[in-house]
Structure 1
Amino acid sequence: MGNVDPAQSSFPLAAYCFMTGFIDSVSFTAVFVWCGFQTGNSVQLALALARLFSGPPGQRDTSFHIADKQALTSLLTFIAGATIGRIGDRMGAQTRAWLFLGTLIQALFTMAAALTAWKSGQGSVAEVRGNPAWTNADTFVAIGFMSASMGLQGIMGKRVNTQFTTTVVLTTVWCELMADPNLFQLNRFVITRDHKFIAIIALFLGGFVGRAIIDAAGAATTLGVGTGLRVLIAIWWIFVPGKQPKGSKNSS
């Protein structure tokens, strides 16, 4: 139940960022929906609502498109996953016990997504935005489990309170990086700048690796690999050094 030291949590948090790109590569490749980036899904739903008032009465498109259904599924399950993350507030958001357990729950969600994607029997790659590869009920469940895992990861990353922020949405990271006063001081290590670079690179690598596995073995296998990676990250949290009491270095 000891707290980890946020300053020494860079590796598992960078792995979280990697998983953001990895999981989103699956959902975007199949249905053009980001399970971790809910800004786009929220705007998409706003556009779907606006479409109800577009055109003359009697000729308006009042259908709920499958892409909008998938975006709504992702948004709602992301919120549900983030809500589960509040369990950490009771256990201690920075305790090894919660960071291990919460990451293990993420792994279980990813495993459930892998199984439902496999059971769906559908393809993994959508060639055209208006023609998603996933359309049946099983794939909606897969999207839900992937999004829930990202929502849980996001709130857990935020609670550790580092330069990696939520490990999910990196728009803020990009803005803070470009606004960092030490951005061009390349002759020394700057945590506020360099950890943001690590987060961005890790997410990029996650997307690249995820798509490579999709092309080689399909979405279900990719999610299976993601399950194993999340289990490794969960174990990793156990070995992160604890936070030292203030003044301990001086007293020693």
Structure 2
Amino acid sequence: MTDNSPTLSNKMPSDAESQSPSPAPTKRTWNAFLNEHVEHHNAAIPLAWQSFLTGLIDLILYSRSQVWVGFQTGNMVQFSGNIAQYMLPDYQRQPLLTLERVLSILSFFLGSFVAAVGAKYLGDRTRKWLFLNSVLQSCLLWGAAAILLTRPEDEQPTFQYFPAVLTLSAWSMGMQAAAAQKLTSPHFATTVAFTATITQIAADPNLFKLKSAVRDKRVVGIFSLCVGAGVGEMLLYANTNLRGAMAIVAGFKLIQAFMWFLPKPSPPK
């Protein structure tokens, strides 16, 4: 009778196979790290920080100029009202506000356009583009802060300098909004406008449930925005005032750049 049972050599691996070294782990180069893709579900911290900065910068600039640099819906409505003032007889017109509002709208648009072009060439979700985008935003805010630091603290907005401050700030906010939009976060949106987010929270079927990840992240975005506005009001009340507050915002934006190194990478689509 033939013995069909497997031999010992078929059961056990050879000595050479058992002692062969495991393949060395692939080293993570700096270039590979910068080219990693970031998805919104791993980027809650930097997106919440951006929402915080939106509330901060919009509050401190609107308090002095009555012009938004992030909430462009308000600017468009107010600018349309300014235009209507020129059509009405014997009506008090506001040429400086009219100019500042249209400059804010245009600068936000151009900032978004530049960010879209940069994302096209560097990858809209790569760490290197998100980092570079935030650094450029910080430089724009530092420029606005530098202009303010050359002026007396209590000086009211004039044609001489304040349009440039708003232009640089709105350009920065446009770049932030475009970068956030490319991440297509359903919770933080563009980290600038949250009207739709409020509607989504109200319409959420899990609104009154104890746990709801989607609802909670949306609430975090709105909460971050409101906290930023509160911090901005405190900075204006303190000795920092507008000039110091703008410099702080520029520094916070630079911190934002390094926050893009925190999220776990995701495979590119």
TM-score by length of structure 1 reads 0.87
The residue aligned with 2:84 is: 50
Residues 1:183 and 2:207 aligned together: yes
Which amino acid in structure 2 is aligned with residue 120 of structure 1?
Answer: R
Over 3 Å counting, the alpha-carbon distance change for 1:245 and 1:135 in structure 2 is: closer
Q: CA deviation at 1:89?
A: 2.4
Query: Aligned runs of 1:112-123 on 2, under 5 Å?
Result: 112-123=143-154
Task: Find 1:72's aligned residue among 97, 102, 112.
Answer: 102
Identity %: 28
Q: Matched residues in 1 for 2:193 and 2:65: separation?
A: 19
Query: For the Cα contact (< 8 Å) 1:6–1:160, is it kept in 2?
Result: yes
Residues 1:97 and 2:119 aligned together: no
Which string of whole-angstrom CA distances, capped at 9 and with x for unpartnered residues, describes residues 27-86 of structure 1?
Answer: 11101111100111111121122223324xxx566x552211211121111111111111
Residues 1:211 and 2:233 aligned together: yes
Residues 1:81 and 2:111 aligned together: yes
Query: For the Cα contact (< 8 Å) 1:120–1:136, is it kept in 2?
Result: no
Q: Which runs of 5+ in 1 are unaligned?
A: 125-132, 247-252
Q: CA deviation at 1:227?
A: 1.2
Q: Matched residues in 1 for 2:243 and 2:153: separation?
A: 10
Residues 1:141 and 2:141 aligned together: no
Q: CA deviation at 1:191?
A: 2.8
Query: For the Cα contact (< 8 Å) 2:236–2:245, is it kept in 1?
Result: yes
The residue aligned with 1:167 is: 191
**RMSD (Å) for aligned C-alpha atoms:** 1.7
The residue aligned with 2:253 is: 230
Q: Which runs of 5+ in 2 are unaligned?
A: 1-34
Query: Aligned runs of 1:12-23 on 2, under 5 Å?
Result: 12-23=46-57
Q: Matched residues in 2 for 1:176 and 1:137: separation?
A: 42
Query: For the Cα contact (< 8 Å) 1:119–1:138, is it kept in 2?
Result: no
SS of the residue corresponding to residue 105 of structure 2 reads helix
SS of the residue corresponding to residue 123 of structure 1 reads coil
Q: Matched residues in 2 for 1:19 and 1:122: separation?
A: 22
Query: For the Cα contact (< 8 Å) 1:4–1:94, is it kept in 2?
Result: yes
Q: Matched residues in 1 for 2:133 and 2:268: separation?
A: 25
The residue aligned with 1:127 is: none
Which amino acid in structure 1 is aligned with residue 202 of structure 2?
Answer: M
Q: Matched residues in 2 for 1:74 and 1:90: separation?
A: 26
Q: CA deviation at 1:123?
A: 2.5
The residue aligned with 1:196 is: 218
Which amino acid in structure 2 is aligned with residue 15 of structure 1?
Answer: W
TM-score by length of structure 2 reads 0.81
Q: Matched residues in 2 for 1:205 and 1:15: separation?
A: 10
Over 3 Å counting, the alpha-carbon distance change for 1:197 and 1:37 in structure 2 is: same
